[in-house]
Structure 1
Amino acid sequence: MAYVKVSGVDLDVNIAEELSEYDWIRPRWTADKLLAASPFRYDKTPSFFVSLEGEYAGGWKDSGAYDADFESGNLVKLLAFLRSETYEETVAYLHGKYGLIDFSDHYRVPLPQLKRERKRIVLPDEELTQFAQRHTYLFSRGIDPKVEAFFNTRFSPVSQSVVVPWRHFDGQLANLKFRKIQGKAFWYRRHSHPIRELVFGLDKVYRHNLKEVAVCEAEIDAMSWYTCGVPAIAVGGTAVSKTQLDLIRKSPIETIILAKDNDKAGAKMERAIKDGVRGCVRIKEVGIPPDYKDANEALEAGVSLKDLILGRQYPTSVI
């Protein structure tokens, strides 16, 4: 355990335990450091490190970073990326898990978590007009331009990133995801609605009264399924929240095609979805071929995602 300052508060965080939840490329763990390939780039060399102990615990550095924003940072920024959530959500997660009151050297209890109704944050759709219409990045990943238009994806020339809108179930704009066109780095708009309280593509479910959809982690995987004519939603990561499960249960969805990523995190999402919707929604399990990490990798390699679902025909008129 090591003390990490999170929003001005020193928290005794088990950094190694938090980071071990994720699949690292060529990791080397020591008592005070994790060395691995960078999670922010397509990297195969141990050019990234995180301090696990000491004065700089939680700090990280990427020696091959493409830009200054992802050259170094703190634990919150790293976990927000790994957990696929906003910076504010990661702060709340760490405070909720490690925020403790010391009554003595031997008696520590968690801080009480007050249950508050979160205010719904809605962004003006006009905010999207500041960004360019589209970029070739998603097309290069196999996504049909009609699907891009369907989700109104945009491009930010300033940050050189694709902009993916996240919406409330009724279609109102809730958040924006920025995904670098070089490397794997992404982030969400600050001071927007929490991703853990949204389901990507759920507004399309309501608009078109969709009964059967694929569910996956990332938006680009959901768009990959749509490209193959299969409607899909995404939860944004593996830590599926109770709110997201409630949204799915209350939606018109009757059958979920569960298409998890082929990694440790994907197995975690699979368990959460199964446990969360059991008895309310029918589940069909579809295996992504083991040579590919996720639906988008399979799509890029020419795998027909639709053919993975035997004997099922999907309408292509949704888009």
Structure 2
Amino acid sequence: MSGTIRIHNVDYPVDVRAELEDYGWTRDNWTNPRRFQASSPFRYDKNPSFFVDTDESSEYFGCWSDSAADDPEWRSGNFTKLLAFLRNETYAEAAEYLALKYGEQPEDDALPLRTKKLPNLAQEYRPIALSTLERYKRAEACPYLTGRCVSADVQRMMRVGYDAERKAVVIPWFNADGTLGNVKFRKVAEKTFWYTKGGRPIREMLYGIDIVYRRNVTRACIVEAEIDAMTLMSAGMAAIATGGATFTEDKRRLIVQSPLEEIVIVRDNDRAGRRWRNEIYEALRKDIRISFATIPVVPLSVKDPNEYAQAYGVGALRAVLLRRLRPIATLRGGLCDMM
């Protein structure tokens, strides 16, 4: 039996261990049933100083601690905050995910009469002025991203900025029509991130979809993270990103209504990545041509396109994806180049 996690004053029987197992961990230890321990997911951590309370009888069930964290904001927190980080989404979206997955479902006979009512967890969305990005604009490319194989040209195209005060890369998320939907801030010295308040929920967006419309792209790779999409763009490939290992109906609709005629799914090398790939395939297989391309795990244990590019270069990344392309149906040509 699962312990409970409180969300918006409602207790949900969350399977914390099952949720944690979906993600790749470093130096993880699962032997203690009351405590999961691993290297911190929030920073570059050589020692396992991070733990999650998995004792279902504990009042701190699901809470986590990172004893060596420099940022007090990320030294401890509840399970929803951790899951929001792992799923690369806002706190409200992670809370909604848990409520939907673990909340009581109505009886089948009652479904036509009523639908499950969830607490209103998300902030109200309002358009973000493009002028918001001006304070983060810089003439030169961000060294952090350049060092991670994202070219200066791609950074300019995606209007990446830098928050000098908080030492964070600024990654704008644009709507299909080119308006600004949300802004992600990602610290350069750690792995922590946050989104601007009041922005459009990431579950309703696709990173790079504005480029698809602007350049009338008909074939593109789809990946999880923005940096993976920018890495593929730097390798000369069109790419969009879901912003985490979650694929929603809103994201499906954005793809179906776009100029895209084919997508190439490039998953992360972990359990969550396999589930993400399967969700996308099931959601889109009747609407669009689908192919798969995988990142080799050996000789180095790499998780995603960006890690592969850092290890071998963007040219090698492009070559390996073309070589490992597996179409569901016969393709006319290879991956779509950025023109």
TM-score (norm 1): 0.89
Q: 1:127 is matched with which residue?
A: 132
CA contact 2:125–2:198 (8 Å) conserved in 1:
no
**Offset at 1:119?**
6.8
- In structure 2, do the counterparts of structure 1 residues 9 and 244 end up closer, same or farther at CA, with 3 Å as the change threshold? same
In structure 2, relative to structure 1, the CA distance for the partners of 1:28 and 1:225 (3 Å cut) is same
Cα 1:20/1:314, change in 2 over 3 Å: closer
**Structure with a larger share of its residues in strand:** 1
**Coordinate RMSD, CA, aligned:** 2.4
* Residue pairs, 1:118-267, within 5 angstroms: 121-133=126-138, 135-267=142-274
- What is the aligned partner in structure 1 of residue 303 from structure 2? 293
Separation in 2, partners of 1:275, 1:313 = 21
1:72 offset after TM fit, Å?
1.2
Q: 1:300 to 1:97 in 2, by over 3 A?
A: same
Q: Distance in 2 between matches of 1:68 and 1:192?
A: 25
Deviates more, 1:188-197 or 1:10-19: 10-19
How far apart, CA to CA, are the structure 2 residues paired with 1:164 and 1:23? Answer: 24
**2:21 match:** 20
| Structure 2 unmatched ranges of 5 or more | 106-113, 324-332
Does the residue aligned with 2:171 lie in a helix, a strand or coil? strand
Q: Give how far 1:132 is off.
A: 4.4
CA distance in 1, matches of 2:191, 2:94: 19
Aligned-partner Cα distance in 2 for 1:129–1:213: 29
Kept in 1: contact 2:220–2:260 (CA 8 A): yes
* % identical aligned pairs: 39
Task: Please point out which of 53, 66, 81 is paired with 1:51.
Answer: 53
Q: Is the 8 A contact 2:149 2:314 kept in 1?
A: no
Q: How does 1:38-117 map to 2 (within 5 A)?
A: 38-53=40-55, 54-100=58-104, 112-113=116-117
Report the alpha carbon displacement of residue 120 of structure 1 after superposing the two structures with TM. Answer: 5.4
* Shift in Å, 1:303: 4.8
Deviation track 1:188-208 (CA, whole Å, cap 9, x = no partner) reads 223321111100000110111
CA shift for structure 1 position 44: 3.7
> How many angstroms apart in 2 are the aligned matches of 1:115 and 1:33?
30
Counterpart amino acid of residue 299 in structure 1: A
Offset, 1:270: 1.1
> Residue 215 of structure 1 contacts residue 233 of structure 1 at CA under 8 Å; is this kept in 2?
yes
Contact persistence 1:99–1:111 (CA under 8 A): no
Classify the secondary structure of the residue corresponding to 2:190.
coil
Q: Secondary structure at the residue paired with 1:94?
A: helix
Q: Aligned residue for 1:306?
A: 318
Within 1, Cα distance between the matches of 2:335 and 2:267? 21
Offset at residue 219 of structure 1 (A):
0.4
Contact 1:216 1:235 in 2 (8 A): yes
The range that moved more, 249-258 or 6-15, is 6-15
Relative to structure 1, the CA distance from residue 100 to residue 114 in structure 2 (aligned partners, 3 Å threshold; closer, same or farther) is closer
1:65-99 Cα deviation digits (max 9, x unpaired): 13212111111110000111111111212222333
Structure 1 residue 137: Cα displacement: 0.7
Among residues 274, 279, 282, which one is paired with 1:272 in the alignment?
279
The verdict on how the C-alpha distance between 1:148 and 1:123 changes in structure 2, with shifts beyond 3 A counting, is same
Distance 2:102 2:294 in 1: 36
Residue 106 of structure 1: aligned partner = none
Change (3 A) 1:130 1:274: same
- Equivalent-residue separation in structure 2 for 1:256 and 1:76 (angstroms): 31
Deviation at 1:209, TM superposition (A): 0.7
Query: Is this contact kept in 1: 2:223–2:265, CA < 8 A?
Result: yes
Deviation at 1:275, TM superposition (A): 0.9
C-alpha separation in 2, matches of 1:121 and 1:267: 34
